């Protein structure tokens, strides 16, 4: 009798509906995604023409491919407060109907989730979630502080495997964030400035060589000592430029808009002027980018 009960068509239907409601990932359709994502990057991510273009092309291409052979793996680099987390959130906001609140958007931080070097990522139940949503996103923050062994334990998930423990990771997106390479990116931006060239004229090729040299020469960072790098698991290394005074102004105005306050140029200028800029003599780039602008705003209103 018990067996018959479980075979009841009504019950099977109820379970199927419940599973569809709770265990599938509501995604935007690709055509909805592409235009809005481009607009979002254009309007919301300030001063990052290289990162915006690279991220758009990489994610757009990946999401348009119904059968990718491997997950998309991006590594975002740059000075603090330049928008690495912010850009990752923009991706999630445009992919998932529930945005960054989606249970398929996972953020791991080296210092928060893995304070002990021996901690193993495989123990994380989060991997199982991918069975419900192949288009899951995994952000690894502060990867330069992660243990190489920990990073190596992610390797199988990034590879060309059809299935791992019965689930496929080929449609997932992995994003690594770090400040690694921030110095050389800033130096290149400074060299352009000093040569009287426009920031918008900096091209990815201008940064590729100095960035990769600085990453591969790094003997301290767990991420760069891990085999993820030597095995070429990363599809794109994406540089974030240091932000200038005008970008900080844009960030303050955006924050005011988010709070429903009319963007006030005077408030934005006073706040932006109070930040510290480098190099000391020229005061070109904000040392904290746009970080903490949201917290500071209160004092200038």
Ligand X SMILES: Nc1ncnc2c1ncn2[C@@H]1O[C@H](COP(=O)(O)OP(=O)(O)OP(=O)(O)O)[C@@H](O)[C@H]1O
Residues that bind ligand X (CB under 6 A): 44-48, 78, 80-86, 177, 179, 243, 251, 289-291
Choice between 63 and 297, CB closer to ligand X: 297
The minimum distance between CB 255 and ligand X, in angstroms, equals 7
The minimum distance between CB 237 and ligand X, in angstroms, equals 15
Choice between 130 and 207, CB closer to ligand X: 207
C-alpha to C-alpha distances, 186 to 83, 164, 181, 192, 212, nearest whole angstrom: 14, 40, 9, 10, 14
Structure tokens at 14: 């109820």
C-alpha to C-alpha distances, 47 to 183, 200, 239, 245, 249, nearest whole angstrom: 17, 9, 12, 11, 11
Q: How many CB atoms sit inside 10 A of residue 197's CB?
A: 12
The minimum distance between CB 228 and ligand X, in angstroms, equals 19
The residue among 154, 147, 161, 215 whose CA lies nearest residue 184 is: 215
Q: How far apart are CA 222 and CA 121, in angstroms?
A: 14
Choice between 68 and 239, CB closer to ligand X: 239
Q: How far apart are CA 173 and CA 136, in angstroms?
A: 6
Q: Examine residue 89 and tell whether it contacts Mg ion (CB under 5 A).
A: no
The residue among 141, 136, 118 whose CA lies nearest residue 126 is: 136
- Show contacts with Mg ion in window 186-225 (CB under 5 A): none
* Beta-carbon-side half-sphere exposure of residue 254 (alpha carbons within 13 Å): 16
The minimum distance between CB 75 and ligand X, in angstroms, equals 13
Q: How far apart are CA 117 and CA 259, in angstroms?
A: 40
Choice between 232 and 295, CB closer to ligand X: 295
Choice between 1 and 43, CB closer to ligand X: 43
Choice between 84 and 247, CB closer to Mg ion: 84
The minimum distance between CB 188 and ligand X, in angstroms, equals 17
The minimum distance between CB 82 and ligand X, in angstroms, equals 4
Structure tokens at 270: 């006073």
Choice between 42 and 201, CB closer to ligand X: 42
Contacts of 276 (CB under 8 A, 6+ apart): 286, 287, 288
Region from 27-35, 76-84, 155-163, 267-275 binding Mg ion, contact rule CB under 5 A: 76-84
Choice between 113 and 171, CB closer to ligand X: 113
The minimum distance between CB 221 and Mg ion, in angstroms, equals 15
Give the number of residues written for the chain: 301
- Show contacts with Mg ion in window 151-190 (CB under 5 A): none
Answer with the entry of ligand X, Mg ion, none that 41 interacts with (C-beta below 5 to 8 A by kind).
none
C-alpha to C-alpha distances, 262 to 176, 229, 284, 290, 295, nearest whole angstrom: 35, 46, 27, 19, 17
Answer with the entry of Mg ion, ligand X, none that 47 interacts with (C-beta below 5 to 8 A by kind).
ligand X
The minimum distance between CB 81 and ligand X, in angstroms, equals 5
Q: Examine residue 109 and tell whether it contacts Mg ion (CB under 5 A).
A: no
Site residue total, Mg ion (CB under 5 A): 2
Q: Which residue has the tokens 């069975």?
A: 131
Q: Examine residue 85 and tell whether it contacts Mg ion (CB under 5 A).
A: yes
Binding residues for Mg ion (CB under 5 A): 84-85
């Amino acid at each position: 009798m018990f067996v018959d009960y479980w075979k009841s068509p009504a019950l099977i239907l109820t379970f199927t509906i419940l599973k569809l409601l709770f265990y599938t990932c509501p995604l935007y359709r690709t055509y909805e995604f592409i235009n809005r994502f481009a607009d979002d990057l254009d309007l919301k991510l300030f001063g990052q023409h290289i990162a915006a273009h690279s991220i758009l092309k990489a994610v757009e291409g990946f999401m348009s491919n119904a059968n990718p052979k491997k997950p998309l793996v991006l590594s975002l680099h740059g000075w603090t407060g330049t928008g690495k987390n912010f850009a990752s959130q923009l991706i999630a906001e445009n992919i998932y109907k529930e945005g960054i609140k989606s249970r398929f958007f996972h953020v791991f931080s080296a210092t928060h989730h893995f304070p002990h070097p021996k901690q193993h990522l495989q123990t994380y139940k989060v991997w199982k979630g991918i069975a419900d949503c192949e288009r899951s996103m995994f952000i690894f923050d502060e990867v330069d502080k992660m243990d190489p062994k920990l990073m190596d334990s992610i390797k199988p998930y990034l590879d060309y495997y059809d299935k791992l423990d019965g689930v496929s990771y080929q449609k997932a997106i992995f994003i690594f964030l770090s400040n690694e390479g921030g110095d050389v990116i800033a130096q290149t931006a400074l060299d352009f400035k000093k040569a009287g060239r426009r920031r918008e004229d900096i091209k990815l090729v201008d940064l590729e060589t100095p960035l990769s040299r600085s990453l591969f020469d790094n003997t301290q960072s767990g991420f760069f000592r891990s085999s993820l790098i030597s095995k070429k698991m990363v599809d794109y290394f994406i540089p974030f430029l240091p932000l200038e005074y005008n970008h900080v102004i844009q960030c303050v105005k955006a924050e005011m808009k988010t709070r429903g306050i009319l963007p006030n140029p005077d408030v934005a200028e006073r706040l932006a002027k109070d930040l510290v800029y480098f190099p000391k003599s020229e005061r070109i780039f904000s040392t904290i980018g746009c970080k903490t602008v949201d917290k500071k705003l209160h004092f200038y209103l």
